Amino acid sequence: MRMSGVIGVILLAVAVVLLPVLAGGQWVRIFTSTACFALAAMGAAFIYARLGMVSLAQVALMGVGGWVFLRLNHATALPFEANLLAAGLVTSVLGMLLALPALRMRGLYLALMTLMVAGALEIVFTARQFPNGGTGFWGVATSFSATVRRPLLGQSDPAYLRYSLLVMGAGFLLIEAHRRAAPGRAWALIRRSEAAAIASGVNVTLYKTWAFGLSGLLAGLGGGLLAGSLGLLDAATFRASESVLLFALVVVGGARFWFGAVATAVLYRVAPALLNNWGVDADLALILFGAALLHAVITAPDGIAGQILGFVGALRGRMPGVRP
Partner 1 sequence: MTMRVLRKGSLKTAAMFGAGMIALAASGGAGMAAVSCGANTGQAATGAPVKVGGIFGNAAPGDFSASTTAARAYFDCVNANGGLNGRPIQYLTENDQWNPELAAQAASKLLKDEKVVAMVGNGSFVEMAVNAPTYKAEGVMTMASACAVSECFESPNIVSTNQGPLPSTVGAAQYMVEEKGSKNVSCIGLAIPDVGPWSCGAMEGYMASKGLAGSSVLLNPASPDVNSALLEAVGSGADTILVNLPAGLAIAFLKAAEEQGMGDSYQWASSTPLYDRTVPEALGAYWDGKMYVNAEMTPWDKGGPDAVNWLAVMDAYAPKEAARDSFSQSGYLSAKIFVDAMLALDPATLDDRAAVTAAITAIKGVTSDLMCGPYYVGEADRHMPNHAGTMVVVKGGGFETVRDCYEYDSPYFAPIFEQEKALGLR
Report the interface residues with partner 1, using CB under 8 A.
Answer: 24-26, 28-30, 33, 126-127, 129, 132, 134, 140-145, 147, 157, 226, 229-237, 239, 269, 273, 276, 282
Specify whether the CB–CB gap between 253 and 309 falls below 8 A: no
CB of 282 to partner 1, least distance (A): 7
CB of 72 to partner 1, least distance (A): 19
CB of 76 to partner 1, least distance (A): 20
Residue number, 9 or 152, with CB nearest to partner 1: 152
Residue number, 126 or 205, with CB nearest to partner 1: 126
**Side-chain half-sphere of 165: how many Cα atoms within 13 Å?**
23
CB of 279 to partner 1, least distance (A): 10
Provide long-range contacts, Cβ within 8 A and 24+ apart, for 15-23. 15/165, 16/162, 16/165, 16/166, 16/169, 19/161, 19/162, 19/165, 20/158, 20/159, 20/161, 20/162, 21/158, 23/158, 23/161
CB of 172 to partner 1, least distance (A): 22
Specify whether the CB–CB gap between 305 and 292 falls below 8 A: no
Residue number, 133 or 303, with CB nearest to partner 1: 133
CB of 149 to partner 1, least distance (A): 12
CB burial of 66-92 (b: ≥16 within 10 Å; e: otherwise) equals: bbbbbbbbbeeeeebeebbbbbbbbbb
CB of 42 to partner 1, least distance (A): 19
CB of 237 to partner 1, least distance (A): 7
**Rounded Cα gap, residues 210 and 138, in angstroms:** 29
Residue number, 283 or 323, with CB nearest to partner 1: 283
CB of 276 to partner 1, least distance (A): 7
| Burial tier of 4 (Cβ tally within 10 Å: 0-12, 13-18, 19+) | middle
Q: Compute the chain's Rg from CA coordinates.
A: 20
Provide long-range contacts, Cβ within 8 A and 24+ apart, for 199-204. 204/103
Residue number, 138 or 295, with CB nearest to partner 1: 138
Residue number, 139 or 169, with CB nearest to partner 1: 139
Specify whether the CB–CB gap between 100 and 210 falls below 8 A: no
Considering only CA atoms, which of 152, 151, 146 is closest in space to residue 130?
146
**Rounded Cα gap, residues 7 and 55, in angstroms:** 28
Residue number, 78 or 232, with CB nearest to partner 1: 232
Residue number, 2 or 144, with CB nearest to partner 1: 144
Residue number, 203 or 241, with CB nearest to partner 1: 241
Taking residue 153's Cβ as centre, other Cβ atoms within 10 Å add up to 12
**Rounded Cα gap, residues 28 and 161, in angstroms:** 6
